[in-house]
Structure formats: structure tokens, C-alpha cells
Structure 1
Amino acid sequence: MLVDTGAMHSIFLPSGKDRSRKPDETTALVAANGTPIHSYCTKSLEISILGRNYVWKFTIADVRIPLLGADFLAQNGLLVDLGRKRLLNTGTCRSLPPAASPGAPTICTVTPHKYGNLLQEFPEVFKLELRQAAGTPPKHGIFHHITTTGSPTHVKF
């Protein structure tokens, strides 16, 4: 599971049976880039962390990796220690140690993208209704032109 302190809800992957249901319109989940995430229901699931079993009500939604969100961390007194790359239980002071072997889970920080402030300044760029099919004119009516001279030194599409 991905520990995501920026996620308000803990989210788990849907089963085939869950996906056959109509998406739940009452739970509006949105990804970091602004796109909606289909959710289906909630389920109580048992997970084990730091030698303790927890039962938590997860939102079942279309995500690639299950998320352990701020709701779970706050309710269960778990802190993310970014300096030592571990989870810390505030009640027992036990911690999940950093990964010792390659491929084992680790805790790491996600550094902001160098264009993050620019994207936050213009969120309308990511509106679903403005997306276009390849080869069609943009629906937003904005065209960019870069005037150049001479032959291109490199072309990448």
C-alpha cells in the first residue's frame, strides 16, 4: 500500500464484482491532476501494520495502488517519519523500519514538480470537457505559435 498523507480517504482496489456495479456518484474522488476517480462502495478490510491488525473502512475505487490515507493514519495514531523513512506508532513508539532489501516497500517523499505552481495557477487546463481527440482543433480556442527560422536540429513527437 502507498502511504499518502495527502489523501483524505484510504482507498482499495475494486474486484470484478465491484466494477460491475454502477459507480457511486455520492463519493466524489479527484486525483492530484484533477481527473475524477470512479468509486464504487466502502468495505471493511483487515490490514496488519507494525505487528498490529487494523480493521478499516476503505473506499473502493479505480486506483492503481491501494492508498493508506490521512484518515487511517490520524485515527490510529500513526506518523510518517520522512527523515528516517518509516511509520511510527505514537502510542507504542514502535516503528516500521526502512526497507532492507531491494524491492521491499519504502517510505519516500514526492518532490513537487518544477511546474507544479504553474499548473495550480491554471487548473482549467485539466478540465475534462476541454480534452480533444488527436487531430481535432482544441475546444478552448487557444492556439500557440512559435516562430522559428532555419532547419530544425531535432524533432520529437
Structure 2
Amino acid sequence: MKEIHDFTSRYDLDYFMGKLLGFLVTNKFILDPETHQVVQNVLDAENAFYEQRLAGKLVPEALEIAEETLFQNVGLSQYDIVTEILMENYSDNFELDSEQAMEYWTIRVLTEIPDLFEEFDASVIGIDRLELDTNYNAVVGRIVNFMSDNGVQ
């Protein structure tokens, strides 16, 4: 499993990169370190900020507009999706309200079904909500099969 933590140190001094990566790390997004969209979102946010400042906007106003641009094409976290599916389907079967148990099973699912989200659009960061809605039953089915194969009914 490739995590965003692998490349955060390259951008320590960049405000927009730090803000975006901080959000992605906090929400446990799983990304390839070479994700073009992350870099593009940062560049777009920087350009939006500079354009707003040149247009006479104050820093807080320019930052607000730039941050809207920064989070374009950011979908849902694979980690959060799997956690939600596990809670919906297995919360009665084992102690999922403990944070450690939930993290264990979520990471296990993501590790042992590495292609769970492979069919999803890679041009966004994370998973697009509409695309998830369309493929939700297939994702749930694969997770349910995995859990069943591992003795959890």
C-alpha cells in the first residue's frame, strides 16, 4: 500500500502543498507518490492566489479562493470508504467501535485487496463520489467476500 507519507518531505516549505498533503495524510488517503493531480492542484492554487493578489484582493480573500482551487478533484478517502462499509456490515459481529480494531480491519482489507479501487478514475485524488455510488455494490461485495473468507460473517 503506497501512502502519501512517502513524499511529504519534498514540499516542507510550500504552503499549499503542505495544506493539501496535511489533509490527505489526516484523512488517510492512499496515493502513488507520483500523482500528477496533487502537483497540479498545488500549482493551480498558487496561480489562483497570485492572480487574486494581482487583482487587488487581500491575503485572506486570495487564500480562500486559492484553497477552493486546491481541493478541486479531491474525492473520498479509500480508507474512509472501507471503514464505513465495515461499520455498516460488521459492527454487530466484532468490536469495531474500538479504533484499533477498525484500523486493523480497514488496513487489512486495503492491503489484501490491493485492486479494490483499481477500476476507479485515477485523474482525481481519492475516489469520486458519483463513481463510488455507481460501483458501490461491487466494492461491498468484494469486501464481504473477503471478510467471509476470513471467518467473519
The TM-score by the shorter chain falls in which range?
Answer: under 0.3
* Larger-Rg structure: 1
Between structures 1 and 2, the one with greater strand share: 1
Structure of higher RCO (CA pairs closer than 8 Å, 6+ residues apart)? 2
TM-score (norm 1): 0.26
Between structures 1 and 2, the one with greater helix share: 2
